[in-house]
Structures are given as C-alpha cells and as structure tokens.
A and B are shown apart, each in its own frame.
Chain A
C-alpha cells in the first residue's frame, strides 16, 4: 500500500485565483481530501481540491516545478 502524492490547490474567494498551496501524501482520494483540508487550514478557503501528482501534465518544459518532477520520475 504505497502512498500517493497529491498536489493541493485552493482559492480564497469566489472568482479568485486557484493557487497551488502544497502537497500531501495519502493512500487514496478520500484520505487525501481529509489530509489536505486538515493540513492547509490556515485560511478559510472558498474552494480546495487535490490532484494526483501523476495526473498533472506539464504544458511547458523547462524549470517549472511539475516539469521537473515529471522528469525526475520518468
């Protein structure tokens, strides 16, 4: 039962930008939701979502975080 890395995104206000705020390790989507909500609770988020890191497809190459992670794990 390996842990899965989930990226965490959130926005403070309706219409505000969806921002990448961090990541968590979890063993499934359900625990990922709880861990994300409980870990990144410094704000009263309007919206929060999690995405499995493996599902993120970098559009740009180069020095972007996700492009680097993709290269490191490919």
Chain B
C-alpha cells in the first residue's frame, strides 16, 4: 500500500471528487438500510426478519461512519444527512424503490449490497486514511450479508416457477446501473483513482463480476455480457433518477425532526 493521502495535496477538483465518492457510498449504505428495514415484517420467517433488522442497523452504522468522513474535507455531515432533497441523493439506482417481493430483496442483497462492498474493498485498499481505518470492520460485518444473500439466491434459483422468475427479473433490472456505478470512470472518478484513493474501474468491475458470476449463472445471467447503463449523472456519481421521496423522508428522520439531537 502506498503512503496515506495528504489531503492538503488535493486541489479543489480532487476534493470535490473525493466528496462525491464518499457521498455515493454513504447514501447507498443509508438506502440499503432502508430497503432492509422494509422487510422487518413480512420476511419469509422470524429469523429472516430479525436478520433484515440487524442488517439494516449494520447499514445505518456504516452510513454514519462514511458521512463522518466528510469532516476530513471540512464539511459538516449533519445537514448532509438531514437536509437534502431526494434529487440530491447519490445512492445507487437499484435501491430507489421499495423491493416488490422477497426475491427482489435477495437480488439486492447479492447485487446492490455486493456492489457497495466491492467498492468499499477497493476504497479500503486505497490511501485515504479514514477508509483504511474504518472500512475493514464494515467489510467484516458484510460477510454475514453476503452469506445470507448467496444462500437465499441459490435457494430461489433452484426452484421452478415464480420465485426463480422474480429473482431473474430483479437481477436483470438491477445489473446495468450497478455495472455503471462500480465501473464508473468519468472525470471525478479518474481523479480519485489517480490520487490513489480507490482502484481502477476495470479492477473494481472485475472484482464485482467475480463475486457474483457463479450465482447469476444460476438464473442464466452472464454478468460478463450485460451492458452497463449509460444514463450517467456526473454530478452525483450515479445513474439518473433518485430514491423515492418517502424513503428519503425516513432516511432524513423527518417524522422526528423536532427530536433531532446531533
């Protein structure tokens, strides 16, 4: 690993690029938690509901740690967490809407949570000191998410009929935008790559594809032949669109705004 990044050596564009990277990771974690929380009730069993609850807590904890990294760039994370409109969120497109069924949540566990983890692995291997010190614990907790997602994916893929079809449909719907996000190589991402903060686009993509290739083949999806979405928003570092207003209101804590203590 190279020497840790001296933030004073980053110019304004470099700092903005690092801020965009932190925000898209933090927002994605926050929305992943929202999507797990949607299944606290209604999961296939008590155990899966409890696991969804626990994973939601994991994700929100991870999001809080990632937002806190903005302090290193002189930015107050409190308004970032509590005052932004949905249109400003940089979370991944796969999490914009509530999962319509359990199969879609399983696909999100493997693909969306997996994509965030692939990005975080690369971030932890870079030279940004906050990522080096804080991300490994997140990755350790993510091993449980990955295990559960893979087990459920295999289970649903092995069935005949509706469950497998729903899983396959959700997989195909999520994948193009996730490939665009993991493989982003626009100017801001090129800045953080050249600064050593995160690995190159082709390496991140190869890692993500390697993580999911075998599982996706169970529903006859070849991850190497799926094209990435080209509906890219360079301002936020995600594909176009934004998370549902209702989900962002929950993420911001609008209902309990009067009780907000930071």
Question: Which residues of A are interface residues toward B (Cβ below 8 A)?
Answer: 1, 3, 24-28, 30-31, 33-35, 37-39, 41
Can you list, as one digit per residue, whether each of B37-64 has a CB less than 8 Å from chain A (1) or not (0)?
A: 0000000011110110111000000000
Chain B residues whose CB sits within 8 angstroms of the CB of A31 once the complex forms: 47, 147-148, 151-152
From B47, B53, B159, contact of A26 by CB (8 A): B47
7 pairs of A and B residues whose beta carbons are closest in the complex? A35-B47, A38-B54, A38-B51, A34-B148, A30-B151, A31-B151, A39-B50
User: Contact between A25 and B47 (Cβ–Cβ < 8 Å)?
Assistant: yes
From A1, A27, A30, contact of B147 by CB (8 A): A30
6 further A-B pairs in the complex, CB-CB below 8 A; given A31-B148, A38-B144, A39-B51: A1-B155, A31-B47, A31-B152, A34-B51, A38-B50, A38-B55
**What CA separation (Å) do A60 and B130 show in the bound complex?**
55
**What CA separation (Å) do A25 and B159 show in the bound complex?**
20
Chain A residues whose CB sits within 8 angstroms of the CB of B45 once the complex forms: 3, 25
User: Contact between A34 and B50 (Cβ–Cβ < 8 Å)?
Assistant: no
Chain B nearest CB, measured from A72 CB (Å): 21
Chain B nearest CB, measured from A62 CB (Å): 30
B138 proximal to A (CB < 8 A) = no
Question: Closest A-chain residue to B152, C-beta based?
Answer: A31
Question: Which B128-163 residues have C-beta < 8 A from chain A?
Answer: 144, 147-148, 150-152, 155, 159
Main secondary structure of the interface of B (DSSP, over half): helix
Chain B residues whose CB sits within 8 angstroms of the CB of A39 once the complex forms: 47, 50-51
Chain A residues whose CB sits within 8 angstroms of the CB of B147 once the complex forms: 30-31, 33-34
Chain B nearest CB, measured from A2 CB (Å): 12
User: Contact between B151 and A28 (Cβ–Cβ < 8 Å)?
Assistant: yes
Chain B nearest CB, measured from A66 CB (Å): 21
**What CA separation (Å) do A48 and B163 show in the bound complex?**
32
Chain A residues whose CB sits within 8 angstroms of the CB of B148 once the complex forms: 30-31, 34
Chain A residues whose CB sits within 8 angstroms of the CB of B144 once the complex forms: 33-34, 37-38
Chain B nearest CB, measured from A56 CB (Å): 19
Chain B residues whose CB sits within 8 angstroms of the CB of A1 once the complex forms: 155, 159
Chain B residues whose CB sits within 8 angstroms of the CB of A35 once the complex forms: 47-48, 50-51
From A24, A27, A33, contact of B155 by CB (8 A): A27
Looking at B47, B48, B50, B55, which has the most chain A CB atoms within 10 Å of its CB? B47
**What CA separation (Å) do A5 and B189 show in the bound complex?**
48
Question: Closest B-chain residue to A41, C-beta based?
Answer: B54
Chain B nearest CB, measured from A26 CB (Å): 7
User: Contact between B151 and A27 (Cβ–Cβ < 8 Å)?
Assistant: yes
Chain B residues whose CB sits within 8 angstroms of the CB of A37 once the complex forms: 144
Looking at A3, A31, A33, which has the most chain B CB atoms within 10 Å of its CB? A31
Question: Closest B-chain residue to A39, C-beta based?
Answer: B50
Chain A residues whose CB sits within 8 angstroms of the CB of B150 once the complex forms: 30
**What CA separation (Å) do A30 and B51 show in the bound complex?**
13
Chain B nearest CB, measured from A61 CB (Å): 31
**What CA separation (Å) do A71 and B94 show in the bound complex?**
49
Looking at B53, B54, B150, B159, which has the most chain A CB atoms within 10 Å of its CB? B54
Chain A nearest CB, measured from B146 CB (Å): 10
